Structures are given as C-alpha cells and as structure tokens.
Structure 1
C-alpha cells in the first residue's frame, strides 16, 4: 500500500496538486478496500473514522480529482450509485463485473474481450481506448436461497 500511495503522491505532484491529509485519508480508505467498489458515501463514512473533521464535499472533490487524473475510475452499474475503483497501471480495462440483481454484490472477472477488441479495431479502423462490460444476473448464494431466480 505504501508503494502505491507514494506513486499516487508523485502523480499528484506532477499535476501540481498536493497530497493533503484529507486526500491521503481518502486514498488510504480506497487502498484498504480496493476490491469493494465503494460509493462516495461509503468512502466518506470510512474516511470520517480516520479524519473526523472531513466533510462529504471534500471527499467528493477528492474523488473527482482522482477520477480526472485517471487514478481511480467512477463506475455506474445502473443502480443510480456511483462506485469507485483504482485503474490498472498496465491496462485501462483489466476486468469486467458480474452484478447480482438480488443482493447487489459485485464480482470481478478477467478481461475476456482483448481479441474481440483487436478485431473491431482492425475491421472498423477504430482505435478503442476503453470498454466496460457488466453482466447482470444472480450470484450462487441468491440462486441457492431462491430457486425461482434461475427460471
């Protein structure tokens, strides 16, 4: 976590921004919960435990800045709640999401579209810079609880 925080600090400085205590607290929460796809409100509640004086607007501004600098990505899964995750250092779209329509849990799966993306670029003379794929359905736990979901 320390290495990633230092890398982000350098990136902020390169763009003439400082790693303020509020930004650092927000980043630490994101790093500690990397797989969780937290909403801004969830991030705020966790940051508040580390920095009790922080306001929700500060967290939103920090998330906007980190998104603008492409450090994190703002995701929308169609439920009206924006969630955040770190962008991959080596590939901007490194995984896809499975979204359970019953319990709203998110699962990550590996990127399955690299060859399709290359084919689309070639056949349509189109440079793809990103893609987003979400599969909607029901997780194993929800299917086990409610056998009618599989119909």
Structure 2
C-alpha cells in the first residue's frame, strides 16, 4: 500500500507543477488568484496544491481548470493528441526567432521564465520538457500538434530525433 501512497504523492506533485506553470503563464500571484476568484481559492490552498502538499478532488480540479481557462487534460498531464507521429522526440525552441515575432511574445516570455528557473542562460536555444510544451499549448489554446506547427511556422522550432 505504501507504493500507492507514493504514486498518489508523485501525481499530486506533477499536477501541482502544472498548476504553477499555468498560473505563472497567466501572470497571477497566489494572492491574485484568491482575489480574482472572490475567495473561492485561497492563496494558501493554491500554494499547497502547487507544492503537492494537498490533493485536489476531481470536481475541484475541474473548477480550477475552468478558472484558469485551460482543459483539465493539461492539468492532468494527458496528451490531447491521439497521434504521436508528428511529435518530435525532443523539442528545442529557437529563442532568437521567438524574440522577433510579436505574436509569439507570450511564448517567449514563458521561455524566459524557464531560463530563469533553470539558470540556463545560453541565449539562443532552449530545450523544453513535456510539461513546458503542455503549458505553451494552454497559452496558445491549441493541441500539441497545432502548437508544434505554429512553432514551425514561426521558424522557432528546432527538432532533433
């Protein structure tokens, strides 16, 4: 049974990381969430969810997804694409290309936040993780396939096998 507790804890941490990424994409502080939700979500509760210290029920997770205006599948870490054939094995963003595209400003800002968090300041490219790609999908309100195509269209995607 301890293994089940560990996997639940790990899942809570993963959901919490996605919650934090989406909140930051929305440029909201914990206090902003409490204020904008009219107190439905307290700053301390959101912080505990983000750190994986508290578990969210599915109904509450759905409410939070609606508040953040993201599909619940993004918070759960589920792929919203059935076909993985178009997905590169590694996703690398061209930061120089992103910086020159006004429509990509939000994606570029998110990439800069990843750079600050990781302390990775090479400046030209950034390898992103699966959860980062999902967060960008939610920012662009698109599926992974659509997001990857948009990045290609912006010439901001470097793919490696």
TM-score, length of structure 1 as denominator length = 0.24
Q: Larger relative contact order (C-alpha < 8 A, sep ≥ 6)?
A: 2
